[in-house]
Amino acid sequence: MTEQSLKNAFLFRQPILDRQQELAGYQLSLRRSDELADERSVSRDAAALCAAYAELGMQSALGNARAFIGIDADYLRQEAIELLPASGVAIELNGVSVPDRVTLTRCQSLRERGYSLVLTDYRGIDDRSRPLLPMVEVIKIDVHAADPEQLQNFAGSLRKLPIKLLAQGVGSREQMERCRNLGFELFQGRYFAQAEIVSGRRLSAPQAALIRLVNLVGRDVDTAVIEDAFKHEPALTLNLLRVVNSVGCRGSRLAQPVTTLRHAITLFGRRQLQRWLSLLLLAPGSDGGDPARSPLLQVAALRGRMMELLIKHGPPGDHRKLADLAFITGILSMMPVALGLPITEILAQIAVERDVQLALSERRGVLGTLLALLECFDNDDAAGCDRLLSGLPGGFDRHTLNTCLSVALRWLNGNAA
């Protein structure tokens, strides 16, 4: 696979969540707009996918999240597989029929080298799966290819084996819950970003408080007004002081800790404060989960950062101001899912620039086109990505999008500024 052909495909990712609904990894796939958009066509060219993983520095970008990479029967025997980091990837055995002795020896060798093997297209214990069961760590079952009774039988027959079951193609939270009750431990899909949007839904008290604060910070009001609003939210006040006093916030320690709200707000800055409050709106409730691993929060932060990076590839201009607007646009685009409200009702409560409002409500302007592009990118829509890329001014292409994904993931995992 040449470098040029690598630049002609999109590197798509599908989140894989664990039983706590925290991010456990990504299914990576390469696809061009002229390919069929079905899961059976994903990762057909294993060499290109492995090359993309290396070229874009995905090991560093993904941090603790593993990359699930499809390997076909031919590429399985190539030594190039061993260039992939055993701790960072899970090798999916795609297109492997009834395994012969060479295939089984190769799988055993990879397992001994620390690689995790994933058996896909599972159809029950048969001549294909039986010899591979002692070697695989994960079995992937397509929930669309099996009816409820089959799913129950598959899970039951594997329950006593030290193997994790992964539900592929989960489209709703109800579907995820059914699979979890059957013993599945991993869930692939974007069901977490599918929420019921209801006009007039009442916000919880913490959500309403955050909306008020985001609105105040986005307007040209005196710091004293913002300070007074924070005083009515003790938990948020303590959280803000903790963040501002962290080394990561300022880049270096101050001689004395910040102990007053006014000092914290001034030191944090309006721009950073608005970003922080907006992200808090997407964080899960007090359910014991780690907000940093919330998939919805990660999608929002990643989308905001990618929009911010893509702005720099556009026509010359005031990139700093537009990049700030791009970041907040990306974050706010996930608010309807987080709050269960239409974007029009959310925008009526939050003060945003007109460019942001047009982007979110009508997908208009450069910000609107970039947002639509990243929505297609998140949904593995290669044709949609190509169409939107062709309408953007400046240096936007497939490779730019893939590179921005890698940089944004690295930033999200704390491996880059």
- C-alpha to C-alpha distance for 382 and 375, rounded to whole angstroms: 11
- C-alpha to C-alpha distance for 20 and 65, rounded to whole angstroms: 14
What's the average model confidence in pLDDT over 239-248? Answer: 78
- C-alpha to C-alpha distance for 25 and 18, rounded to whole angstroms: 9
Contacts of 221 (CB under 8 A, 6+ apart): none
Closest-CA residue to 382 (of 5, 1, 4, 9): 9
pLDDT at 202: 86
The count of other CB atoms within 10 Å of the CB of residue 315 is 11
DSSP letter string, 154-174 = HHHHHTTSS-EEEEES--SHH
- What are the backbone dihedrals phi and psi of residue 165, each rounded to the nearest 5 degrees, phi first? -95, 135
Q: Model confidence over 121-144: pLDDT tens digits?
A: 898 889 999 999 999 999 999 998
> Which pLDDT band, with edges at 50, 70 and 90, does 416 fall under?
low
- Up-side HSE of residue 235: CA atoms within 13 Å toward CB? 8
Q: Model confidence over 271-307: pLDDT tens digits?
A: 899 999 999 988 765 444 455 567 888 899 999 999 9
Quick check: 87 and 59 in contact, CB under 8 A? no
Q: Model confidence over 27-37: pLDDT tens digits?
A: 999 887 665 44
- C-alpha to C-alpha distance for 9 and 3, rounded to whole angstroms: 11
More confident residue, 196 or 290: 196
Q: Model confidence over 349-404: pLDDT tens digits?
A: 988 999 999 999 999 999 999 999 999 999 999 999 999 999 888 778 899 999 99
- C-alpha to C-alpha distance for 259 and 254, rounded to whole angstroms: 12
The yes-or-no verdict on residue 246 having pLDDT over 80 is no
Cα 17 to Cα 42, 173, 342: the distances in Å are: 19, 12, 26
This prediction has a pTM of 0.87
Pairing of strands 186-188, 10-17: antiparallel
